């Protein structure tokens, strides 16, 4: 009887060891990614802050599989892909509607370095700085993710295993970032549609598909320069997320940049998201730019499309006041700033706490300057520009 019990115990132990080994092998990248998730800055409630976290995605987070299957054509498909692959069906995920405001510009330093700068304007929300590693033809990247887009409540801590597992989806939700080739990208709302009716881009050809933030992921992972970012955009059908519309700025270490827009001829006819076509407006494409833009080698963007003659009047251009302020400041020095701190000063000038903010619930969640020449990120949360401890620096 004693020998039988011992055999049973041994068998059970072997089964448990086998199960643990199987789980460990199957989840090894996810376990490593979850283990890397940690808080790097505590909220300052009196300032309207939320927490800042950091994580490193281990492995390839199934991006190659994402590309091979032809991407996804909706938020629902993206959620299904993430649940089925990254969280292995254990964790359900929701992606609330994003309201991505913001201001952005390119510039060069006095030393000749190429810069990409961006404010992310949103309600108080937790954020995460997400790192990925190079592998094969994929670049190492650093990006910023709004954890509110993954369902994390800004009033609560992002804590516990289920929250951390949910944050594995952060790889597919970047808002801005840079890769180790010196390519940077950001996304901004455009409110496209007629008479206040916002219409999402929803192309429908035989090309593979991408959504708002997955376009950023593809650019950051696979683009060696601006031209390759354009090739990615041209190779996919765009499906804007959350029923709204967006455009993008992309820049590379050479100092070249472009605005990517999916538009129809004008605001009155831009009511069919499937009929929109990609328009790439380069920083040196004088024929496609306004008088001020054509005189500059740098670019700047807020929340309206730059397609000439798209709007009947300036009244329909969201963020035009911030756009003009960026131009005023950049044109005074012909797009040259002393250094990254000076570029951050330009972002501070249009930060939501200091700017004429018509939405009291909106703040500048983070400001970031990417040095595309040196591959260095300078990141500041919640307009804490004067607090040296708030500056986060990372070099690829």
pLDDT digits (tens, 9 = 90+) for 72-81: 999 889 989 9
Q: How confident is the model at residue 353 (pLDDT cuts 50, 70, 90)?
A: confident
Alpha-carbon distance of 33 to 65, in angstroms, equals 18
Alpha-carbon distance of 324 to 159, in angstroms, equals 41
Regarding pTM above 0.85, the answer is: yes
Alpha-carbon distance of 272 to 33, in angstroms, equals 40
Q: Is the pLDDT of residue 15 over 50?
A: no
The bridge status of strand 237-239 relative to strand 209-211 is parallel
pLDDT digits (tens, 9 = 90+) for 368-394: 999 999 999 999 999 999 999 999 999
| Mean pLDDT calculated for residue range 193-201 | 87
Closest CA to 155 of 48, 249, 24, 301: 48
Alpha-carbon distance of 331 to 328, in angstroms, equals 5
Alpha-carbon distance of 152 to 163, in angstroms, equals 8
SS3 of residue 296 by DSSP: coil
The better pLDDT of the pair 22, 318 is held by 318
In the chain, % of residues over pLDDT 70: 86
Closest CA to 275 of 229, 238, 244, 313: 238
Closest CA to 85 of 68, 65, 69: 65
Q: Is the pLDDT of residue 68 over 90?
A: yes
Q: Is the pLDDT of residue 115 over 50?
A: yes
Closest CA to 233 of 211, 255, 254: 211
| Mean pLDDT calculated for residue range 317-332 | 94
Q: Is the pLDDT of residue 294 over 70?
A: no
| Mean pLDDT calculated for residue range 88-116 | 80
The H-or-E segment that residue 28 falls in is helix 28-36
| Mean pLDDT calculated for residue range 169-178 | 96
Q: For position 332, what pLDDT does the model report? A: 95
Q: Which two tokens stand for residue 215?
A: 């376009």
Using an 8 Å Cβ cutoff, are 105 and 330 in contact? yes
Q: For position 53, what pLDDT does the model report? A: 98
Q: For position 98, what pLDDT does the model report? A: 54
Q: Is the pLDDT of residue 11 over 50?
A: no
Task: Give me the chain's average pLDDT, please.
Answer: 89
As beta bridge partners, residue 238 has 210
Rg (CA), the chain: 22
Q: How confident is the model at residue 44 (pLDDT cuts 50, 70, 90)?
A: confident
What does the longest C-alpha to C-alpha distance in the chain come to? 93
Q: For position 281, what pLDDT does the model report? A: 94
In the chain, % of residues over pLDDT 90: 72
Q: How confident is the model at residue 288 (pLDDT cuts 50, 70, 90)?
A: low
Q: For position 296, what pLDDT does the model report? A: 77
């Amino acid at each position: 009887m004693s020998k039988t019990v011992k055999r049973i115990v041994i068998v059970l132990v072997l089964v448990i060891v086998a199960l643990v080994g199987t789980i460990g092998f199957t989840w090894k990248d996810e376990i490593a990614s979850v283990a890397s998730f940690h808080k790097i800055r505590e909220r300052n409630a009196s300032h309207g802050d939320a927490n800042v976290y950091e994580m490193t995605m281990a492995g390839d987070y199934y991006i190659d599989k994402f590309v091979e299957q032809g991407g996804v054509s909706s938020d629902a498909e993206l959620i299904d892909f993430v649940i089925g692959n990254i969280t292995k069906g254990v964790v359900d995920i929701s992606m609330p509607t994003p309201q991505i405001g913001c201001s952005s510009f390119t510039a060069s330093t006095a030393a000749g370095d190429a810069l990409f700068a961006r404010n992310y304007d949103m309600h108080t929300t937790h954020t995460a700085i997400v790192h990925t590693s190079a592998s094969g033809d994929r670049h190492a990247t650093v990006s910023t993710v709004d954890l509110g887009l993954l369902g994390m409540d800004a009033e609560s801590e992002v804590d516990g295993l289920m929250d951390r597992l949910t944050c594995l989806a952060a790889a597919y939700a970047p808002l801005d970032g840079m890769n180790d080739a010196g390519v940077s990208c950001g996304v901004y709302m455009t409110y496209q549609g007629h008479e206040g009716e916002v219409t999402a881009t929803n192309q429908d050809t035989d090309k593979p598909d991408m959504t708002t933030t997955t376009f950023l992921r593809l650019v950051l992972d696979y683009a060696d320069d601006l031209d390759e970012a354009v090739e990615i955009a041209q190779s996919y059908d765009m499906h804007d997320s959350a029923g709204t519309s967006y455009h993008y700025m992309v820049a590379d270490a050479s100092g070249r940049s472009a605005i990517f827009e999916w538009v129809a001829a004008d605001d009155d006819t831009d009511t069919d998201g499937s009929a929109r076509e990609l328009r790439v407006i380069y920083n040196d494409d004088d024929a496609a730019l306004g008088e001020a833009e054509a005189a500059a080698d740098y670019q700047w963007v807020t929340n309206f499309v730059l397609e000439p003659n798209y709007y009947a009047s300036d009244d329909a251009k969201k963020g035009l006041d911030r756009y003009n302020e960026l131009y005023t400041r950049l044109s005074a020095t012909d797009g040259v700033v002393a250094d990254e701190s000076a570029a951050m000063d330009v972002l501070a000038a249009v930060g939501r706490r200091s700017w004429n903010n018509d939405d009291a619930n909106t703040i500048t969640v983070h400001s970031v300057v990417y040095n595309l020449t040196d591959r260095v990120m300078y990141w500041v949360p919640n307009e804490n520009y004067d607090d040296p401890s708030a500056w986060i620096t990372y070099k690829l």
